[in-house]
Amino acid sequence: MIEANEQPRDEAVEKELDGVPEEMLSDDEGEQEADGALDDALAALRGDLETAKQDVLYARAETQNVRRRMEKDVQDARNYAATGFARDILSVADNLTRAVDSVPADLRGDEKLKGFIAGIEATQRELDKVFGQHGITRIAAKGMPLDPNQHQAMLEIPTGEHEPGTVVQEMQAGYMIKDRLLRPAMVGVAKKPD
């Protein structure tokens, strides 16, 4: 039931459309233009949605890459944090080795030196143990083929006993920390005699 101040719906629509040009009110053309505009707007929105989806995928991939890089950096920092200190302490290890090697064999039996030598050797073993706990290992050199990634050739020694390019003398031990070179071994390499 329509109240006195309410108009029927059709009459209200006609009143609102009063003053609109007749060509705009024609059903066929207006609907086609509206449908075309709606289709264009819908296509544009679909394109924007696809672009937004791609942007989200790229952002996720980039975030994952950044996270992986940060995890690797943190792991490297943990693994190689002691590199500078280890490189400095190698000279202490070298000096302990020189001290033990410098004691002549005939004095090793001397009661006065036995305790001293035993102390140096114990210190050397403890240092090697600590190196091992932190992934610091000695590079094999003598008898091995020269590896420029681990050995630094200091001189060539003419010899017929070894193949040319074989390490025959180690002047200074080389060390690795995990899988990285800490210090190359300084070596003498065999060459063919002249």
CB 136 within 8 A of CB 177: yes
**Tokens 């030196």 correspond to what residue?**
113
Closest CA to 181 of 145, 142, 151, 143: 151
Dump pLDDT digits (tens) for 67-85.
999 999 998 888 888 888 8
Classify residue 5: in a domain, yes or no.
Answer: no
Domain count, the chain: 3
Classify residue 3: in a domain, yes or no.
Answer: no
Domain end (from 79, 105, 123): 79
Residue 43 belongs to domain spanning: 23-79
- Look up residue 193 and give its two tokens: 């005699």
pTM over 0.75: no
pLDDT at position 129 is 94
Classify residue 64: in a domain, yes or no.
Answer: yes
Q: What CATH number should be reported for the domain holding residue 146? A: 2.30.22.10
Query: What percent of the chain is modeled with pLDDT above 70?
Result: 84
Domain end (from 96, 114, 134): 134
pLDDT at position 29 is 57
Helix then strand then coil, % of the chain, to nearest 5:
60, 15, 25
Classify residue 124: in a domain, yes or no.
Answer: yes
Average of pLDDT values for 154-163? 90
Average of pLDDT values for 95-123? 85
Average of pLDDT values for 97-123? 85
pLDDT at position 81 is 84
Residues 185 and 130 in one domain: no
Dump pLDDT digits (tens) for 6-53.
555 566 555 555 555 555 555 555 566 777 788 888 999 999 999 999
